[in-house]
Amino acid sequence: MDYLTIFKALANETRLQILLWLKEPELNFPSAAPLAEEHDFKDAICVGKIQEKAGMSQSTTSQYLSLLQRSGLLEARRIGQWTYYRRNEDTIQQLAEYIGKEL
């Protein structure tokens, strides 16, 4: 796990906010239609809904989401013409343990 990349990703207020929104997607994205069960990607939100809530351009939103994904904090899946993102709870748990033990 590359902790420096994770901390860099979290050093931006909007990227941190995106992670917080995705912690409770049903509360923060009430108009987002849930994915069908056959996609097996629960709690994922499409880029367009995240962009809309963040009030940023599509390119900036995509850059932010890409960095969060590269750091391991988000998982992404392309379904049809849309890309969906959700939190990677395993990485977030490992980060919490690292902070608790090492810092």
Split at pLDDT 50, 70, 90, the class of 32 is confident
Q: pLDDT per residue over 46-73, tens digit each?
A: 999 999 999 999 999 999 999 999 999 9
Amino acid found at 31: S
Q: What is the Cα–Cα distance from 45 to 17, expressed in whole angstroms?
A: 14
Residues above pLDDT 70, as percent of the chain:
100
pLDDT at residue 51 in the model: 97
- Token pair belonging to 79: 């379904």
